[in-house]
A and B are shown apart, each in its own frame.
Chain A
Amino acid sequence: MTDVSTSNGVAIRTPWRPRWLAVVGIAAVVTTALTVWLGLWVTPPDEVQGNLARLLYIHPAVATVALYWAGGVALLGSLLYLWPRTRAFFWDRLAASAVEVGAVFSALTLVTGSLWGRPVWGVWWTWDARLTSTALLLLLELGYLALRRVPADPQIRARRCAVAAILIAIDVPIVHFSVDWWNTLHQSGTILDPGFNLHVHGSMLWTMLLSFVAFTLIFVWLLAMRYRIEVLQDAVGDQELEVSLSERWNEDAELVGVGGSGGAVDGDEVRGP
């Protein structure tokens, strides 16, 4: 463990940095580099879409992380925080971290989808079902993050955010179905069609599967780092409060020491830092 100094000179001990996290980070870098190499140099261009198909090695994996991994962790963390037997700040911090990382991945899903849509559909944005529901998901996540930033007692904030995350999780399928019926343009499943027949073959398939591993590892690493920052932020908050209190006590003690006329302060009641 090492010490970290904050802007006002408060020293806090850095918590929780397990060795496996470094292993995950290195594995994420290696798999991402491999995906880039395979995706840009080894795999051939697509028969129909040419080089555009290379977005296949980013977009589906990013979307999977945004919707399933981040959403799943956020929902699980929130449910376990609300459940009295498993209530611990660990779950609250984990859920909040998952929503924040999830929001980044949702935004990336929209950007990469849009980059692909421009040459293929001819427009940056189209009101198709998956784009629209992903955009709504991002807005719901931003709402959660805004709620999270409102200053409140940690327990109250945790409970409020847990309920908000569960409400979002309930809303997402309804949003998805409604938008799906509203307008559908997007291709159906990327790798498997409803009959579970493979559409992607050979080196392209392996590269795509590797991209799922790479982005999952990146997600795990980001989630753990974000969780660590949550812990540090709480620690800083606690320590700053202690420092402020002790400074206040010192002021009172100095006033009494000088023999200040503030008779309201009884020397016996003044506590040292």
Chain B
Amino acid sequence: MLHDAVLVAGKDLRIEARSRVALWQVVPFAILVLVLLAFAIGPDQASLRHAAPGIFWVALLFSTVLAIQRSVAVESGEGTRDGLRLSGIDPAGIFLGKAAAIGLQLLALQLILWAGVTFLFDVRVHVIWLAVVACLLATVGLACAGVLYGALSAGLRVRDTLLPLLVLPVLAPVLLAGSKVWQAALDGNVSSGTQWLKILVPFAVVYLVVGIVLYGPLQEAA
């Protein structure tokens, strides 16, 4: 299963490396969200610094939707999904591979967003390990839930409008917990931050396990 996952992840990442859609569309979009939300809040530096954790996570969530749509789109060509199914690769392997590919892209995106909020809003993270752990856990959760919902909407003509409606309410706990951990990491309040990791851990574990179990039936329905 892990070997299959590596194969699928390698395939998706190679497609991204060659097409550069993530680099030229998803990354600029994430930065655009940072700038637009700053416009909405106003130029007051103190308000922006206060809102920075929320802005970071909202930008990440919206970009995640784009990354999922991209991950579904690379399988939407004529017979591509059938080809993947007929290749004899374990569905759980496909799930893990696609999640790993999205996860790696999201990690790179978070580095850019981190630099963005530092540069634009002048924030400094005091407890770096807390912010990093939150990012890693959220990445697992976002990638796994994203791949599942991507598979749910795959093959539908209306998938581009349906996917955000389906997936964003589901990802809301990541937004809540991620923002709170980041706020705690900015304030140097470790105990409050670790409390919120208790939401991110089950979210990541639940969607990882559910994805491994349900991806097979979902693939048949797509």
The smallest beta-carbon distance between B155 and chain A, in angstroms, is 8
Contacts of A139 in B (CB 8 A): 165, 169
Q: For the complex formed, measure the closest distance between the CB of B153 and the CB atoms of chain A, giving whole angstroms.
A: 8
Pick the contact of B199 from A82, A156, A160, A178 — CB < 8 Å? A178
Give the residues in chain B near A175, CB-CB below 8 Å.
169, 172-173
Tell whether, in the assembled complex, residue A142 and residue B165 are in contact, meaning their CB atoms are under 8 Å apart: yes
Q: Known: A156-B221, A163-B218. Contact between A147 and B173, CB under 8 A?
A: no
In the complex, which residues 113-153 of chain B have their Cβ closer than 8 Å to any Cβ of chain A? 148-149, 152-153
| Interface residue? A1 (CB, 8 A) | no
Q: Does A182 contact B (CB under 8 A)?
A: yes
The chain B residue with its CB closest to the CB of A144 is B166
Q: Are B199 and A170 in contact (CB under 8 A)?
A: no
Residue numbers in A under 8 Å from B180 (CB-CB): 182
**Distance between A248 CB and nearest chain B CB, rounded to angstroms:** 25
Taking CB as reference atom, which chain A residue is nearest B156? A150
A167 pairs with B199, CB closer than 8 A: no
Least Cβ–Cβ distance between A228 and chain B, in angstroms: 26
Q: Which residues of B contact A159 (CB under 8 A)?
A: 217-218, 220-221
Measured between beta carbons, the chain B residues less than 8 angstroms from A179 are: 173, 176
The A186-220 residues at the B interface (CB cut-off 8 A) are none
Q: A-B pairs with CB below 8 Å: how many?
A: 77
SS class of chain B's interface: helix, strand, loop or mixed? Answer: helix
A159 to chain B: closest residue by CB: B221
- Least CB distance from A202 to B in Å reads 41
Residue total for B at the interface (Cβ-Cβ under 8 A) = 30
Q: How large is the interface on A (under 10, 10 to 19, 20 to 34, 35 or more residues)?
A: 20 to 34
Question: Closest Cβ of chain B: how far from A238's Cβ, in Å?
Answer: 21
Contact B162 A163 (CB under 8 A): no
Cross-chain contact B169 with A178 (CB below 8 angstroms): no
Chain A residues with CB under 8 Å of B206's CB are 170, 174
> Chain A 139-153 against B: per-residue CB contact (8 Å), 1 yes, 0 no?
110110011001010
A78→B220 CA distance, assembly (Å): 16
Cα separation A142 to B158 with both chains bound (whole Å): 15
Question: How close is B87's CB to chain A, nearest CB, in angstroms?
Answer: 21
B170 at the interface (CB under 8 A from A): yes
CB pair B166–A178 under 8 Å, yes or no, is no
Rounded to whole angstroms, the CA-CA distance of A177 and B149 in the bound complex is 22
Q: Judge if A256 is at the interface, Cβ distance under 8 Å.
A: no
B195 at the interface (CB under 8 A from A): yes
Tell me if B214 counts as interface (CB < 8 A to partner A).
yes
Contact in complex: A167, B217 (CB < 8 Å): no
Q: Which of B149, B156, B173 contacts A178 (CB 8 A)?
A: B173
**Interface contact A164-B199, CB-CB below 8 Å:** no
A148 to B172, CA, bound (A): 22
Q: Which residues of B contact A147 (CB under 8 A)?
A: 152-153, 162, 166
In the complex, what distance in Å separates the CA atom of A166 from the CA atom of B214? 10
Most central of A82, A164, A167 by chain B CB within 10 Å: A167
Is A136 close to B, CB under 8 A?
yes
Q: Which of A143, A152, A156, A171 contacts B165 (CB 8 A)?
A: A143
Q: Which residues of A come within 8 Å of B, CB atoms?
A: 82, 136, 139-140, 142-143, 146-147, 150, 152, 156, 159-160, 163-164, 166-168, 170-171, 174-175, 177-179, 181-182
Task: Name the 3 nearest CB pairs between A and B, nearest first.
Answer: A159-B221, A178-B173, A139-B169
